[in-house]
Structure 1
Amino acid sequence: MPYTFVDDFVRLYYEDEGLGKPLIFVHPPGMGSITFSNQKILTEHFRVVTYDMRGNGKSSPSNKRITIDLLADDLKMLLDHLHIDKAIICGYSNGGSIALEFALSYPERIEKLMLIGGFSEVCTTLLHWEFLLGIYTVKKHGIPLLAKVLGLAHGKHYREKKAIEQYVRLTNDRDLYQMYTEGLRYNCTERLSQLKIPLLLIYGARDYYVHYYQNFFKKYVPHTDIIYVSKARHQIPTKHYNELNSIIKAYCLT
């Protein structure tokens, strides 16, 4: 299986398939690269890279405290290992925070940025409580429960639900706790004006609790494009993958 070291004893698991423009997917804490199984068909048009962040999936637990900066640096080291100078980055949910930090820290390494259900900070009540619920669940050793909930929420059929559940169970509880706490406090809103690259926000039309965050992007990044996926809630990569894949092809190949 393909791995690269990002620290002396921290291995990142990744999958690298296809030819064309490099397209990198960044998953939310706990879910791992399995989140983007339905995007593998894009290998017909892109070099598709998915990976497990440290402490997630098949990657090693972290050897230091998790920060968003650290996870963005890990992504940079993965690109270095794969000899990718510049890539299209797509972050899903809180994976978008890592994608944003990467874009702000290494603007020369990114061609376009796509955020699925993304946000630049957590400042609304519902999203704040969602993070607190995740923190509390992990603190109470509830990863098996969290895995089941994520599997049920994202899977379209029994086999997919079980596969996601089993993958989430691989998550290191200490690292996931730190990812949630760091995700809750992360705020790059006032730095958004530094983004000069093309930016696409993809929201589920029924994902009401994150729609508010588009206002920050429109204010600080006037060239932001926004697409709503009809009838979709938050779980666009798994439950609305045909629409998402079409959006990605249209946006990235033009």
Structure 2
Amino acid sequence: MEKIKVLIVENELLIAQDLKARLEEHQFEVTAIHTSGEDALTEIDINMPDLILMDIHLDGDLDGIETTEQITRRYDIPVIYLSDHVDKHTVDRAKHTFPANYLSKPYKSSDLLRALELAFINAKRQNSRNRPSKLSDRIFIRTDNQAVEMIRYSDILYLEAERAYCCVVTDKAKHVLSSNMRKVFDQFESPDFIKVHRSFIININRITGIEGNLIKLGDKYTVQMSSKYKDALIGKIHTVK
């Protein structure tokens, strides 16, 4: 059975390491530990978890509640708060992010594991109910105010960020959209696209080769891969040695 992947966002590393050990004892997979909300958001782009354990007090400019607000706008990932902040104002702020659970420190391992399992089960059930009925193998791109063009996901090679714009590149055309790459990608409903650089999201099914940090796509395109995203990409492809 595939392990449930958990991201830990906790600014006290000793607590985070203890959490990691507890979870791994019970066959959960900890994808990463981060102490700031900013790093957690970047991590999710690289390695999507099934669940997130979120402390409210974090390093960086974002606290746990602000980080969760950004997560819930972009993804359908259940968040469980782990915090010693139990004042009414903090709890009320947390409630507005609709967490899967809120556990006050110190907590029992049994309560933590039960919260994780219930959050995962409920999320799977909700996702199956909300599965979209619209076409899932293609998108429609607005080419002007009066027209849209259909593009299959399988025809898309990559997305490229160009300042406030996003280019959707196929073998035959390059479509420039007046939204940023993050906003365009959030509307995709295909699991076959992965971020490999701050400026590139690629279709892993269209990779024809990798040379160092260059990824070949289709017959004539190459994009740059950042070392930060390399492991996530390698984990998505099957390499025979």
Coarse TM-score class (shorter-chain normalised): 0.3 to 0.5
Highest Rg: 1 or 2? 2
More helix, by proportion: 1
